[in-house]
């Protein structure tokens, strides 16, 4: 969007108004692929029946089905993979050739990633139509950028790609080997964002806890968090998607020591049964995880923890699923997501036998969520009467009568909400500002609060 805007394109979120439509796709799991295809087809209608003249498909689905998309959906004029962002202007018909020769490609790697590459972890041989080289794109602080989020909050991608061997996952083939943005580049971007009014920063990457390893940095993420804490104007900083065995004492200490770093850890554990985790090629198990959760809670007072699990992994027995349920009861996460296993060609698990029926997978997912719902309800109830800082995010999407906001316990877009139903008379709260709130009611996942 930044490159298009810089080249003079006027951006609109309304497909009806657009001359050029760009569909940015996901290809991680079947439901995301389906949603991407449905959206492409829906947008193709704007070309045949509306005013759109060009249709561009971008993102991970292009890495996976490059030729197929063009062959099967003739309305598509151009495709842009995740490593080819400099081609967007030509794809949109604004420039005839790529404008920038990808100055932002960084060729760093970690020994772990090189080893996995030699083992074929990043191979796309079994995929028809995935013809492009493995992406090695990384944006930097000079890349033009348009925030798709409200002006007070922004994501910063600090690393791209993944070297882990998780057998259910094709992200390494889609996104390439792990590579980090330069330390100074991330800081420069954060400073620029803060100057433009951003108050909350969320660091992302497929694995943020590996940040800097390919640059020879030890404790890269803690160092980055420390430095970001000193950026004037920022109020909340958090990172998402920690890898379980990469959460170090130094990282925990950094979260505790710096007020601006939210006491929040999102660590997708994927399962808790040692047998399933071994087949997932992730390692660990319930006892080990419980010990590290205890350590994290001891180190960080008031820690909020999020995790996610995959249910119905090939061969997941009833007993293994029960182990997961017991673990969830015991671990008492603040936020938890459960995803149904999605069979992906090219992932190691694709060739494992004993696939579970879809209905059984869905039953397990619902059951796990019902356990978490009770935990969440109790945890949210325990917050009644307590006070927190709240970032006001505007009117409620559900009713104009309520305002909405988030506390440091809520990562943007993914966690529950705080509905605000009361504020001191004559002090109309403003979107993007921070207030002190008191929790007055609790639901399964959401809270109700008044500003004090």
Note the residues at the interface with ligand SF4 (CB under 6 A). 162, 164, 166, 169, 171-172, 206-207, 243
Least distance from ligand SF4 to the Cβ atom of residue 148, Å: 22
Least distance from ligand SF4 to the Cβ atom of residue 170, Å: 8
> Is the Cβ of residue 202 or residue 206 nearer to ligand SF4 in the bound state?
206
Least distance from ligand SF4 to the Cβ atom of residue 281, Å: 8
Report how far Cα 339 is from the mean position of its chain's Cα atoms. Answer: 14
Least distance from ligand SF4 to the Cβ atom of residue 309, Å: 12
Distance between CA atoms of residues 302 and 135, nearest Å: 40
Q: Rounding to the nearest 10 degrees, give the CA dihedral for residues 409, 413, 417, 419.
A: 120
Please name which of 84, 100, 113, 86 lies closest in space to residue 215, comparing C-alpha atoms: 113
Residue 306 burial class via C-beta count within 10 angstroms: exposed 0-12, middle 13-18, buried 19 and up: buried
Least distance from ligand SF4 to the Cβ atom of residue 157, Å: 13
> Is the Cβ of residue 22 or residue 162 nearer to ligand SF4 in the bound state?
162
DSSP secondary structure letter of residue 261: B
DSSP 348-371: GGGG-S-PPPHHHHHHHHHHHHHH
> Is the Cβ of residue 236 or residue 309 nearer to ligand SF4 in the bound state?
309
> Is the Cβ of residue 164 or residue 364 nearer to ligand SF4 in the bound state?
164
> Is the Cβ of residue 335 or residue 435 nearer to ligand SF4 in the bound state?
335
Least distance from ligand SF4 to the Cβ atom of residue 162, Å: 3
Least distance from ligand SF4 to the Cβ atom of residue 164, Å: 4
Which phi and psi angles does 377 have, rounded to 5°? Answer: -60, -45
Q: What angle do CA 246, 251, 252 make, to 5 degrees?
A: 110
What SS3 class is residue 257? helix
> Is the Cβ of residue 198 or residue 240 nearer to ligand SF4 in the bound state?
240
Report how far Cα 264 is from the mean position of its chain's Cα atoms. Answer: 15
> Is the Cβ of residue 111 or residue 144 nearer to ligand SF4 in the bound state?
111
> Is the Cβ of residue 207 or residue 415 nearer to ligand SF4 in the bound state?
207
DSSP 297-363: HHHSTT-EEEEEEEES-TT--HHHHHHHHHHHHHH--SEEEEEE----TTSGGGG-S-PPPHHHHHH
Contact status, residue 383 vs residue 401, Cβ threshold 8 Å: no
Tokens of 212: 């800097």
Distance between CA atoms of residues 321 and 4, nearest Å: 48
Least distance from ligand SF4 to the Cβ atom of residue 246, Å: 10
Least distance from ligand SF4 to the Cβ atom of residue 117, Å: 13
> Is the Cβ of residue 43 or residue 162 nearer to ligand SF4 in the bound state?
162
């Amino acid at each position: 969007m930044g490159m298009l805007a810089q080249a003079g394109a006027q951006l609109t979120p309304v497909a009806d108004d657009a001359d050029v439509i760009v569909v940015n796709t996901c290809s991680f799991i079947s439901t995301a692929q389906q949603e991407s295809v449905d959206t492409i087809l829906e947008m193709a209608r704007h070309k045949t029946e509306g005013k759109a003249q060009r249709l561009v498909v971008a993102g991970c689905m292009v890495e996976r089905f490059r030729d197929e998309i063009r062959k099967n959906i003739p309305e598509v004029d151009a495709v842009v993979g995740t490593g080819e962002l400099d081609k967007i202007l030509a794809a949109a018909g604004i420039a005839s050739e790529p404008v920038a020769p990808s100055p932002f490609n960084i060729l760093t790697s970690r020994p772990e990633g090189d080893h996995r590459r030699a083992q074929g972890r990043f191979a796309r041989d079994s995929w028809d139509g995935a013809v492009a080289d493995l992406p090695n794109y990384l944006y930097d602080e000079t890349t033009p950028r348009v925030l798709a989020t409200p002006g007070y909050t922004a994501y910063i991608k600090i690393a791209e790609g993944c070297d882990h061997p998780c057998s259910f996952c094709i992200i390494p083939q889609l996104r390439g080997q792990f590579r980090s943005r330069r330390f100074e580049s991330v800081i420069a971007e954060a400073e620029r964002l803060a100057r433009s009014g951003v108050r909350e920063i969320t660091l992302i990457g497929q694995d943020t806890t590996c940040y800097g390893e390919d640059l020879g940095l030890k404790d890269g993420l803690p160092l980055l968090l420390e430095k970001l804490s000193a950026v004037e104007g920022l109020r909340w900083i958090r990172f998402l998607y920690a890898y379980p065995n990469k959460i170090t004492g130094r990282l925990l200490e950094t979260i505790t020591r710096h007020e601006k770093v939210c006491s929040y850890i999102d660590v997708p554990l994927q399962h808790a049964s040692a047998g399933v985790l071994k087949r997932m090629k992730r390692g660990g198990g319930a006892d080990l995880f419980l010990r590290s959760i205890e350590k994290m809670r001891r180190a960080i007072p008031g820690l909020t923890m999020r995790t996610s699990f995959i249910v119905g992994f090939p061969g997941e027995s009833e007993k293994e699923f029960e182990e997961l349920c017991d673990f969830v009861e015991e671990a008492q996460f603040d936020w938890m997501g459960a995803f149904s296993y999605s069979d992906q060609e090219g992932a190691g698990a694709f060739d494992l036998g004993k696939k579970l029926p879809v209905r059984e997978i869905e039953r397990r997912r619902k059951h796990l969520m019902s356990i978490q719902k009770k935990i969440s309800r109790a945890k949210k109830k325990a917050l009644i009467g307590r006070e927190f800082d709240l970032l006001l995010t505007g009117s409620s999407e559900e009713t104009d009568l309520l305002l909405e906001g988030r506390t440091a316990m809520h990562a943007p877009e993914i966690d529950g909400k705080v509905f605000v139903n009361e504020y001191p008379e004559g002090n109309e709260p403003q979107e993007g500002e921070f207030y002190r709130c008191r929790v007055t009611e609790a639901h399964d996942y959401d809270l109700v609060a008044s500003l004090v």
